[in-house]
Amino acid sequence: MLAIVAPGQGAQTPGFLTPWLELPTFATRLAWLSTVAGIDLVHYGTEADAETIRDTAIAQPLLVAAGMLAALELFPSPADGFRRTGVAAGHSVGEITAAGAAGVLSGEQAMVFVRERGLGMAEAAALTPTTMAAVVRGDADEVLAAIEAAGCVAANNNGAGQLVAAGTVEQIANLAAHQPKGARVVPLSVAGAFHTHHMQPGQDRLARLAPAISTHDPRVPLLSNANGDAVASGRDYLKRLVGQITSPVRWDLCMETMIQMGVTGLLELPPAGTLTGIAKRNMPGVEVFALNAPDQLAEARSFVERHSDTEAHHNRSANVAWMMATSPAKGELAISEGAGVDADVPSGAVIGTVTNTLGDHEIVAQHGGRILEWLVESDDIVRPGQPVARLYPRTESL
């Protein structure tokens, strides 16, 4: 199974888009997305220095545009990409890249959303000098205790050997001065305490705009940074995009879900290297590919071919006659009372629950309809993204 992932802020480097602009289609599309975002992405991706592209309002649109356009070069026909990709995920702002690539948002919607996200978070960051730092190695419990003792927040959990702390500049300096035993505090190239309460003004900004955004359900399972769940609803994913601004990124749980789904190959969109590096430490046996330049496209397509599972996509695809409900997580299934075969359920009804050590994960009939069949039974162990029920949708949802 193939996973395609998109990196978050801090992955950008000066000039990283220069080789991509040699492709006429990439250059034309980047010029268009620059118009949509209202900033010169061509300049920032090729000529701007590291300090300039560290600005949140610049870095975030730049990263999302880069990832979405590279995906289009990898899969000139999006349908081919959907057919070959088993699961997609993004780290922090990379979730917007994933939303655009998976069809939840159009490219233009993704750029407007990330523009407003970047502006809102930049404004929030300007209220108080804040920053972030990676804490690598060390005992996880001791690292968490040191982060808390410094007054910081564990904003990212990137798996074994890397937690990311966020807080005021003074708090991060305090953490660096009192490094946990065996650990190293590494400042990150970000201009704010992302995924903490410091970003609340940015979240409020997006919460006002989100109700006006139309969405589509993802064409491939999308993983949520909140808890690693496989999300099947575009509207739910948009809600999570708004909430993640002040919530920790649990990339460790996203990787765990990918392993549970049977991922064998992980391809990272540009600017790549961060997530493939993390995967090497946390996903043993999974082959990785960091896509950073167009001269890698032929090799990347071979990588995709080796790891794509077109049969799995066929099994989970919906058609006009029925729609599929899928499991959000690994665990034990319980079918809800009143959600048996032939039950007519309203839009948004909870038709089942998957329970594991992290809690209960609801299976929601996003569009409502009549349950044609359950593909599993109560007490069965299910995996993330697994089809569990077929529904005949309500007429108005077709």
C-alpha span between 335 and 345 (Å, rounded): 13
Whole-model pTM?
0.87
Q: Is residue 192 exposed (0-12), middle (13-18) or buried (19+ Cβ within 10 Å)? A: buried
- Is 165's pLDDT higher than 90? yes
Q: Half-sphere exposure (CA, 13 Å, Cβ side) for 119?
A: 11
Among 251, 253, 260, smallest CA distance to 7 is for 251
Task: Please state the rounded mean pLDDT for residues 109-118.
Answer: 96
319 pLDDT tier (thresholds 50, 70, 90) = very low
Q: Which domains does the chain have, with CATH numbers?
A: 2-124+197-313 (3.40.366.10), 125-187 (3.30.70.250), 322-397 (2.40.50.100)
137 - beta bridge partners? 183
Q: Which residues contact 33 (CB under 8 A, 6 or more apart)?
A: 41, 61, 65, 68, 69, 107, 108, 111
Q: Using one digit for the tens of pLDDT, what is the confidence trace for 328-362?
A: 999 999 999 999 999 999 988 999 999 998 899 99
313 pLDDT tier (thresholds 50, 70, 90) = low
> In terms of pLDDT, which residue wins out, 190 or 363?
363
Maximum distance among all Cα pairs of the chain, rounded to whole angstroms: 63
Q: Half-sphere exposure (CA, 13 Å, Cβ side) for 116?
A: 17
C-alpha span between 35 and 358 (Å, rounded): 43
Mean pLDDT score of the chain, rounded to an integer? 92
- The pLDDT of residue 284 is 95
The H-assigned helical ranges of 283-327 are 297-307, 310-316
- Is 34's pLDDT higher than 70? yes
- Is 397's pLDDT higher than 80? no
Q: Using one digit for the tens of pLDDT, what is the confidence trace for 54-79?
A: 898 999 999 999 999 999 999 988 88
Among 57, 20, 19, 13, smallest CA distance to 38 is for 57
Q: Using one digit for the tens of pLDDT, what is the confidence trace for 206-244?
A: 999 999 999 999 999 999 999 999 998 899 999 999 999
Peptide bond into 180 cis (omega under 30): no
297 pLDDT tier (thresholds 50, 70, 90) = very high
- The pLDDT of residue 398 is 37
- Is 396's pLDDT higher than 60? no
Highest mean pLDDT among 40-44, 233-237, 322-326: 40-44
- The pLDDT of residue 268 is 98
Residues with a catalytic annotation lie at 92, 195
Q: Is residue 77 exposed (0-12), middle (13-18) or buried (19+ Cβ within 10 Å)? A: exposed
- The pLDDT of residue 354 is 95
- The pLDDT of residue 322 is 66
- Is 294's pLDDT higher than 70? yes
Alpha carbon 47 to its chain centroid, in Å, reads 28
Give backbone dihedrals phi and psi of 289, rounded to 5 degrees, phi first.
Answer: -145, 120
